[in-house]
Amino acid sequence: MIELNTGNFASEVIDKSQHMPVLVDFWADWCAPCKMLLPVLEKLATDYGDQLQIAKVNTDVERELAQQHAIRSLPTLHLYRGGQRVEEMLGAQPEATLRSVIEKYLARASDNDLQEALSLAAAGDLSTAVQRLEQAYAQDPQNARLPLELARLYVEDGQTDKAAQLLEKQPREIRESDQAKGLNLLLEFAAASGGEQDSASLASQLEENPADAQARLQLASRQLTGGDYDSALENFMELLRRNRDYADGAAQRGLLALFSLLGEEDPRVSTFRRRMFNLLH
C-alpha cells in the first residue's frame, strides 16, 4: 500500500485510476476503527494484486489533502476510477462490502474499447467513437464505466434523446452519481445551444456587445455540449459576472455541470470554484 502526499496524489491516484481502481484510505494513528480496517485492506491488496491500487493518507500529516477532499470523519474511503472519485464510504467497512464495490470497477476487456472510443472522439472522429462505444456497451452492459461516457458522446454528437434514454435506464447508483448529475445538466444546456447562428457568429456578436447575455449563454452551452470545456468555463464565468440571475441562474448551473463532468481532482475545478464563490459572495 502506498502512502500519499500532496506531491504524489495526482500520479498515484488520478493517473493510475485510468488503468485500475484506486482505493484511498484516509486515516489517523489515534483512530481505532482505522486500525480495525487495516488488516482488511492488507488482505484486499494481496488478493487483488495488480488489479487494484490501495493508498493511504495520514490525515494528521497530510492535513492539506484531508481538507482538499473534505474529510470529516475517519476512516473515510474514496474509490477512484477513470480520473474521478466514483465511490465514498464512511467508517470501517466489512470485507464483503468493499469487495462488492471494488469489483464493479475492476479492469474489463471492454475498457480497451472505451479508451479507443475516447481517443477517436478526442481526434475529432465522433461518429466512429460513438459506434465503437455502442458496440462495447452492447457486449458488456455490466461495465459501469461505459454508459455515462456513451451518454456524454451522444450529447456531443447531438443525439440528446439517446443520451436521456440511456441515463434513464441506469441503476440508481449510476443515475445519482456526480457524473450523471453533470450529464443531466449537460442535456439542459444542449437545449439552450440551438439557434441559427454558428459559434463564430456568436463570438463575433459578443465582441461587438459583451453584455449580450443570450448570445453568451448560447455560445457557452455549445462549448459545453461540444466538449470545449475551457472556453465554456470562461464564458459561464463571464455571464455570472455580468448577469448572475440570467435564465434562472444558468451561469452557475453551467459551472456546476462542468465541475461534475471534470471531477473535483481536475485543477480547473478548484480554480473556477474559487472564482465562482468570490463572485457570488
Cα angle at 124 between 22 and 17, to 5 degrees?
5
93 carries an active-site annotation: no
| CA 150/CA 165 separation, integer angstroms | 11
Could you give the 3-state DSSP secondary structure of residue 12? helix
34 carries an active-site annotation: yes
Q: Which class for 19: exposed (0-12), middle (13-18), buried (19 or more C-beta within 10 A)?
A: middle
Could you give the 3-state DSSP secondary structure of residue 114? helix
Spatial contact of 97 and 108, defined as CB atoms under 8 Å apart: no
| CA 154/CA 277 separation, integer angstroms | 31
| CA 107/CA 260 separation, integer angstroms | 23
Alpha carbon 202 to its chain centroid, in Å, reads 28
| CA 267/CA 250 separation, integer angstroms | 23
Catalytic residue (one of 1, 10, 28, 31): 31
88 contacts: CB under 8 Å, gap ≥ 6: 76, 77, 78, 79
What number of CA atoms fall less than 13 Å from residue 7's CA on the CB side? 1
Catalytic residue (one of 34, 133, 136, 183): 34
| CA 218/CA 201 separation, integer angstroms | 11
List residues with catalytic annotation: 31, 34
